[in-house]
Amino acid sequence: MFYLTPQERKFIAIIMVIFIMGAAVQLLFKRDIAPVRWAKYVRQFKININTARPDELQMLPGVGATLAARIVEYRHENGLFKKKEDLENVDGLTEKRFNRIKELIEL
């Protein structure tokens, strides 16, 4: 068995409390600076769907790594998008998801 003295237990408890407080502070003051969050207010943020890399496409709400890869693949196979609505032809991009991102994209 592994036994600790009362002094060692207090020390470990103090370290755990400090760790938990630090984690709580990090969660409390964490600032989400994703462009999508402030784009709703600034309205200057636009992602060009014809030139964006997958990591840039993932900044759009509801677009993960898989969907971003599908968008890039569709673009390579079918050429550049002619209008925003062509994005709905990508497998996995629903009309609801398109409506959320249409204000954040450009050609």
Tens digits of residue pLDDT in 34-43: 555 555 554 5
Q: Averaged over 14-22, what is the pLDDT?
A: 92
Long-range contacts of the stretch 90-99 (C-beta < 8 A, 24+): 92/66, 92/67, 93/67, 97/62, 97/63
pLDDT more than 90, % of the chain: 11
**Mean pLDDT taken over the chain:** 81
CA-based radius of gyration for the chain: 23
30 pLDDT higher than 60 = yes
To which residue do tokens 């400090």 refer? 18
User: What is residue 31's predicted lDDT score, i.e. its pLDDT?
Assistant: 55
User: What is residue 37's predicted lDDT score, i.e. its pLDDT?
Assistant: 54
- Angstrom distance (rounded) from CA 23 to CA 29: 10
User: What is residue 49's predicted lDDT score, i.e. its pLDDT?
Assistant: 85
- Which residue, 71, 50, 60, 70, is CA-closest to 102? 60
Q: Averaged over 27-47, what is the pLDDT?
A: 60
Q: Which residues contact 35 (CB under 8 A, 6 or more apart)?
A: 45, 59
Q: What is the pLDDT of residues 69-96, one digit of tens each?
A: 888 898 888 888 888 888 888 888 888 8
